[in-house]
Structure 1
Amino acid sequence: MLHQLSWKVGGQQGEGIESTGEIFSMAMNRLGYFLYGYRHFSSRIKGGHTNNKITVRATEVRAITDDLNILVAFDQETIDVNYKELAANGIILADAKFNPVSPEDCQAPLFAVPFTEIATDLGTSLMKNMVAIGATASLLNLEDEVFQSVVDEIFGRKGEVVVQKNMEAIAQGHAVMNELLGDRVGEWELVQADGKHRMFMIGNDAVALGALAAGVRFMAAYPITPASEIMEYLIDKLPEVGGAVIQTEDEIAAATMAIGANYGGVRSFTASAGPGLSLMMEAIGLSGMTEQPLVIVDTQRGGPSTGLPTKQEQSDLMAMLYGTHGEIPKVVIAPSTAEEAFYDTIQAFNIAEELQLPVIILTDLQLALGKQTVEPFDYSKVEIRRGNLVDNVEAPEVDKAYFKRYAVTEDGVSPRVIPGVEHGIHHVTGVEHDETGKPSEAPSNRAAQMEKRFRKLDAINFKEPIYARTEHEDADVLVVGFNSTRGAIDEALERLNDQGMKVNHAQVRLIHPFPVEEMQVLMDKAKKVVVVENNYTGQLANIMKMNVGGHNKITTINKYDGTPFLPGEIETKVKELLK
């Protein structure tokens, strides 16, 4: 029996590859398995090679595997592009329709299965993916009934006949594959899972759920890959709690609408990717100057310009810290799992209101769109903190005196009111202003307001700014990452430690203000520090050097080809650095 299964389906975009992976994943999730899936897709609506790779295990998994056990191919390109990943026990199931050919150096057996023919005989070639699911069931020695609830859920609205046809397609695919395999049936069977119910979601879903739990009632956004699912999810869910989503004409409008809604007292936010964030920079500065809360989700993707809009990259880091003109305080949070994305999103809204500044939730394409098993969220941990929001203002001593909205305070946080609060009238402007909001260019006032705004960062309340695995007091290496690299680093660390090396791991969840003291302690325990990041210039490594130092210790492992890190890549690179 296998302790881990890596399964991939591939073909041309638009022919059901995503739904095939979804049906397989949902069924395995309901059996209690842990899963991690990553979808490679082209930046076009239809056509171009796409595949969905899913790792299945009875224990926790948070990374794409280095190798592959089962490859389901709907065209020859899928075989040619992916066969080199196949493990020693790998197998290819290919649609007989395209007369599949195995490359000369491919050791894995290829089975030509009549996916399309069986589906067409049942009424439509569209059901070829269900035939492929049935063939997979044969390999794993699964009963067809495992897929019944999933088929009911996906096709139930189309009627019982459609449900029955899809289940028949699974049954026939299973039967045909049994005949082709002979005594090899069940050779790829997995160890049994615990059967517990867990969620299975993409990171964007976790962010959207976190926003709901945080009390968000308005989102303004413009569609963009890979952020659109946040908006799409909330379009369905926010109206159920009295909220709304507005699709704006551009990202400039989205950011300024979110600022305006927050000014009116409604927890609001927006979400985008690198190109959209570039357009939002002036609005981010407006949030900082007017001290209005603003939460923005940046789902990083390959750049610059349109770049690689459907591929993995982590190259927005410097832009998020230093992209605005002038100087404002801001907070940048970088969750590394779907679970962290949920809880960190709630923290982001609390911090934005407590400190009255922009907070950026930084994710990446792998985290945003990669689908993973998540334990049920603990809503007892959810805490709503609105900061210094005043709803009862004392009458001023002087008639018609303005409320000191930007009062210079010891902690840098001024009292905040929403429109309509009696005696709370004040100016709001994007130019420098005095304590009441009236424009002022006086040098002494400018210095006082700048210093006040930046004092806020000293009061940040962020739990666990670094996820750390520190098994060794005197480590050979500390491997550092952010966002979705966590799973691959964790698996590489386990392998390296098993080989007798002493390796610790730190995943940075709070990028700015940087957790200097926490990182310094971790770096002091290691001879070398290796920063793993999906960019060319080593942006996180440079931020660490700026904040912590350790230039002689820090080196980088960079990947910028649009694909995520695999555990084996990190393992190999770290071993090379230790020679």
Structure 2
Amino acid sequence: MVSQLSWKVGGQQGEGIESTGEIFSIALNRLGYYLYGYRHFSSRIKGGHTNNKIRVSTTQVRSVADDLDILVAFDQESIDFNFHELRDGGVVIADAKFNPVIPEGSHVTLYAVPFTDIATNLGTSLMKNMVAVGASSAVLGLDINVFQEVVEGIFGRKGQQVVEKNMEAIRAGAQFMKEQLGENLQLMKLDQADGKKRMYMIGNDAIALGALAGGARFMAAYPITPASEIMEYLIKKLPALGGTVIQTEDEIAACTMAIGANYAGVRTLTASAGPGLSLMMEAIGLSGITETPLVIVDTQRGGPSTGLPTKQEQSDLMAMIYGTHGEIPKIVMAPSTVQEAFYDMVEAFNLAEEYQCPVIVLSDLQLSLGKQTVEPLEYEKIQIRRGKLVADELPPLANKENFKRYEITDDGISPRVLPGMINGIHHVTGVEHAETGKPSEVASNRNAQMDKRLRKLKQLKFQTPVHKNAKHEEADVLLVGFNSTRGAIEEAMERLERDGLKVNHAHVRLIHPFPTDEMLPLVQKAKKVIVVEHNATGQLANLLKMNVGHAEKISSILKYDGNPFLPNEVYTKSKELL
């Protein structure tokens, strides 16, 4: 029996690869296993190789597995493309229809199972993916009845006959595979899981759910990979709460519409990826100078331009901090797990209103589309904070002056009113303005307003600006990352520790303003600092050098080929740098 293994299904886009992985993983999740799933897919609607790799464990996992135990292949390309990941003793379960072959001399066992033929005999070849699920269940020693509830949930609306046909396909696949395995029937039988109920969701769903919990009732957005699921989730959920989603004509309209809705008092978000954020930059500046709350989600992907729209990268870091022209206060957050993505979205709305500025929640494709086991969310922890939003009746204004919406204050944050409030009338423009909002180019006023805006974030309170795993007072190496690299770094850290090294880990969750006070002691007490990130220029490493110093200690492990880091890559490259 094994406590952990990795399973992958591969084939052409459009032939049920995603649903195969979904049915397999949802059933395991309901048994209480921890899962981590990552999809490799092509940037086209149909055709092109796609695969879904799922790590199954009796303990928490947060990264893609280094190797592969079981490969389910619907075509030869899936074997050719993924075979190198299979460990010695691994298994290939392939559709016999295409006469599968594996490299000679490999220590991998090939089982040719007639997925298509079995499914066709049962009524339709479309059920070949269910036959594959059944064959997989036999290798893992799973009772096929665990799939009953999942199949009913997916196919129940099509009628009980469809449910039974799909279950019959699973049973047929399992039976055929058991006969093939013979004495190897217990080859990869999984240890029993704890049976606890946990959520299993992609980061985008957690972001959308966090927006709902944080009080968002409007979203304006334009579809783009890998952000579209946020909009799709809220299209289904917001109407029940009196909210709505508008698909705009482009990202410029989405951002300006979000600014308008926030100005009116409705918590609103927009979400996009790098190309869309580029179009939003002028509007983000408008949010900054008008001091209007704004929450934006940036799901990073491979760039530049269209780049690698369905692949992993973390190259928007500098753009999110410095992309706007002029200087405005801005908060950039970077959750590292699906669970953090939920809570950080709630906090993003609070911070946007408290500091009256744009807040960017930075994700990446691996976090946004990768699916993780999530412990039950603690909704009682959620707080709604609206900052200096004036709720009480305002006194009459003297001499018919306007309300001082941009009043100079010690903390840089002015009182805020909603449109229509009696005695709250004021100007709002994108040009520099006096305290009442009236346009002003007076030098002293310009200095006063700029200084006011820029001192807002001096006292920013962010609960966990850096996730720390720093058990050593003096470390041989400090590993640093952000967003989805956390799991690979944590596993590499464990292996380095087994080699006798003292290793600390810091995962940066507040990108801007940079958490210098939290990072400086960790850097000072490490002999070597290694920054792990998905870009070609070491953007996080450069931010660390700019804000913390000690450049002579800092090295980078960079990856920008579109694929996520594997734990062994981080471990091996760290050893090379030490």
5+ long unaligned stretches in structure 2: none
Cα distance per residue 1:441-465 (max 9 Å; x no partner): 0000000000000110112121010
Amino acid at match of 1:90: G
Alpha-carbon distance change, 57 to 399 in structure 1, aligned in 2, over 3 angstroms: same
Aligned counterpart, 2:201: 201
**How much has 1:103 moved relative to structure 2?**
1.8
Distance 1:575 1:546 in 2: 26
DSSP-derived class of the 2:492 partner: helix
Structure-2-length-normalised TM-score: 0.99
**How much has 1:400 moved relative to structure 2?**
1.9
DSSP-derived class of the 2:428 partner: coil
DSSP-derived class of the 1:423 partner: coil
Cα pair 2:397 2:403 within 8 Å, conserved: no
Cα pair 1:392 1:422 within 8 Å, conserved: no
Cα distance per residue 1:117-168 (max 9 Å; x no partner): 0001111111000000000111011111010000000000000000000000
DSSP-derived class of the 1:439 partner: coil
Superposition pairs of residues 439-450 of structure 1, within 5 angstroms? 439-450=439-450
Superposition pairs of residues 178-189 of structure 1, within 5 angstroms? 178-189=178-189
Cα distance per residue 1:236-283 (max 9 Å; x no partner): 000111000000000000000000000000000100000000000000
Superposition pairs of residues 117-516 of structure 1, within 5 angstroms? 117-516=117-516
Distance 1:88 1:262 in 2: 56
Superposition pairs of residues 87-126 of structure 1, within 5 angstroms? 87-126=87-126
5+ long unaligned stretches in structure 1: none
**How much has 1:485 moved relative to structure 2?**
0.1
RMSD: 0.7
Amino acid at match of 1:240: A
DSSP-derived class of the 2:351 partner: helix
Deviates more, 1:498-507 or 1:440-449: 498-507
Deviates more, 1:389-398 or 1:376-385: 389-398
Distance 1:461 1:157 in 2: 48
Distance 1:546 1:300 in 2: 23
Distance 1:544 1:489 in 2: 17
**How much has 1:16 moved relative to structure 2?**
0.4
Amino acid at match of 2:267: R
Aligned length: 578
Cα distance per residue 1:401-439 (max 9 Å; x no partner): 100000000000000000011100000000000000000
Distance 2:250 2:397 in 1: 45
Aligned counterpart, 2:16: 16
Cα pair 2:397 2:423 within 8 Å, conserved: no
Distance 1:522 1:191 in 2: 39
Distance 2:391 2:224 in 1: 38
Distance 2:503 2:230 in 1: 36
Aligned counterpart, 2:550: 550
**How much has 1:198 moved relative to structure 2?**
0.1
**How much has 1:79 moved relative to structure 2?**
0.4
Cα distance per residue 1:5-45 (max 9 Å; x no partner): 10000000110000000000000000000000000000000
Cα pair 1:432 1:439 within 8 Å, conserved: yes
Distance 1:89 1:294 in 2: 53
Aligned counterpart, 1:74: 74
Cα distance per residue 1:64-93 (max 9 Å; x no partner): 110000000000000001111111220000
DSSP-derived class of the 2:359 partner: strand
Distance 1:346 1:394 in 2: 29
Cα pair 2:89 2:109 within 8 Å, conserved: no
Amino acid at match of 2:555: T
Cα pair 1:272 1:299 within 8 Å, conserved: yes
Distance 1:397 1:252 in 2: 36
DSSP-derived class of the 2:468 partner: strand
Distance 1:272 1:397 in 2: 42
Amino acid at match of 1:41: F
Distance 1:89 1:496 in 2: 26
DSSP-derived class of the 2:426 partner: coil
**How much has 1:392 moved relative to structure 2?**
2.8
Cα distance per residue 1:528-571 (max 9 Å; x no partner): 00000000000000011111111001000000000000000000
DSSP-derived class of the 2:556 partner: strand
Cα pair 1:391 1:421 within 8 Å, conserved: no
Alpha-carbon distance change, 540 to 220 in structure 1, aligned in 2, over 3 angstroms: same
Distance 1:429 1:287 in 2: 10
Distance 1:530 1:364 in 2: 20
Distance 2:382 2:255 in 1: 26
Distance 1:182 1:401 in 2: 88
Cα pair 1:84 1:106 within 8 Å, conserved: no
Alpha-carbon distance change, 239 to 397 in structure 1, aligned in 2, over 3 angstroms: closer
Amino acid at match of 1:290: T
Distance 1:96 1:88 in 2: 22
Cα pair 2:478 2:522 within 8 Å, conserved: yes
Distance 2:518 2:22 in 1: 40
Distance 1:304 1:575 in 2: 31
DSSP-derived class of the 1:552 partner: helix
Distance 1:254 1:394 in 2: 32
Alpha-carbon distance change, 316 to 397 in structure 1, aligned in 2, over 3 angstroms: closer
4+ residue stretches of structure 1 with deviation over 3 A? Answer: none
**How much has 1:390 moved relative to structure 2?**
0.5
Distance 1:230 1:385 in 2: 23
**How much has 1:105 moved relative to structure 2?**
4.9
Amino acid at match of 1:101: V
Distance 2:6 2:53 in 1: 7
**How much has 1:391 moved relative to structure 2?**
2.5
Aligned counterpart, 2:576: 576
DSSP-derived class of the 1:480 partner: strand
Distance 1:89 1:467 in 2: 37
Structure-1-length-normalised TM-score: 0.99
Cα pair 2:13 2:50 within 8 Å, conserved: yes
DSSP-derived class of the 2:557 partner: strand
**How much has 1:107 moved relative to structure 2?**
2.2
**How much has 1:106 moved relative to structure 2?**
3.0
**How much has 1:200 moved relative to structure 2?**
0.1
**How much has 1:397 moved relative to structure 2?**
4.8
Amino acid at match of 2:182: G
Aligned counterpart, 2:6: 6
Cα pair 1:480 1:507 within 8 Å, conserved: yes
DSSP-derived class of the 1:463 partner: coil
Distance 1:417 1:397 in 2: 14
Distance 2:125 2:106 in 1: 29
DSSP-derived class of the 1:399 partner: helix
Alpha-carbon distance change, 9 to 321 in structure 1, aligned in 2, over 3 angstroms: same
Cα pair 2:297 2:362 within 8 Å, conserved: yes
Distance 2:396 2:455 in 1: 27
**How much has 1:190 moved relative to structure 2?**
1.0
Does 2:527 align with 1:527? yes
Cα pair 2:3 2:191 within 8 Å, conserved: yes
